Amino acid sequence: MEIKCIIDMTKVYALVANGKGGVGKSFFSQILIEYWTYRGLLPYVAQVDSQARLQELNQLDVLTIPSKPELLRADPSEQLGRFRDITNRLITGDPGQPFVLDIGANEEGNVSHWMGHSEFSEELRDLGRQPVVFIVYTAEQEAIEKAGQTARSFQKVLPDAHFVFVENRRFGAVSKLHPGSSAKKAFDKWVAPLEQKASKLVMPAVLGQSYSRFEASRTRFLEVIGLSPEEIMSRTGLERADARIARGDVGVWVRAMLKSFDELFGQEPLV
């Protein structure tokens, strides 16, 4: 993990983005939300996505803006107008609480275009907010290319933003890619130059894909590690020994992510 600056998390306006789907954006947004609540904060959450995963997982007032690609042809102005509540939520929100905006696949261009036209960076500056753009990617060519393209689109409209590249190691580490592979070449072209001025965070894979057992029951990460074996067996159908293993696997991942966030935000670990 490489940290290029310490960020006051109470002033953060976080964007989580990558134009490609399936790279772990909502997964990352969820653990970020849980980290902030673990730290005693009450984050404001918005998502541009039709799936509404964050609404289902959290007992928060989540602003959900559905994806509506048909508006591009029917009413282009309304395609951008659907984001106006993002500004409204920002203006009325508690200045001592962080924000997170989870941007679904293929929406990064629409959101960045809207932010440029609405002078969103000026709103953030006037309100004393620090924009932090988390770019999540996996060790796949398309995910890496989209990461670089997404970062560049937000650099143009959020000049004060600090960028954090989040390497999701679900499909392996970028450092293990073959030097001649298309994915490694994409990384050297699209991401490596940008990472020189950004922070980098590694999101490890959950061992054994154990968290997938809890997704159907909409169980949050930190909730998993507090469940008894009996509760896990009831929610997942696992045998007792496997229930303990799954809880341990999720616990290892959660502790790694909390440690990374502590370093990013300059926090001492909680006992």
CA distance 223 to 235: 12
pLDDT of the residue at 4: 76
pLDDT of the residue at 12: 97
Q: Give me the average pLDDT of each 10-residue run along the chain (271 residues).
A: 83 97 96 97 93 86 81 62 93 95 94 96 97 98 98 97 97 97 98 95 96 95 98 98 98 97 93 65
pLDDT of the residue at 75: 63
pLDDT of the residue at 270: 83
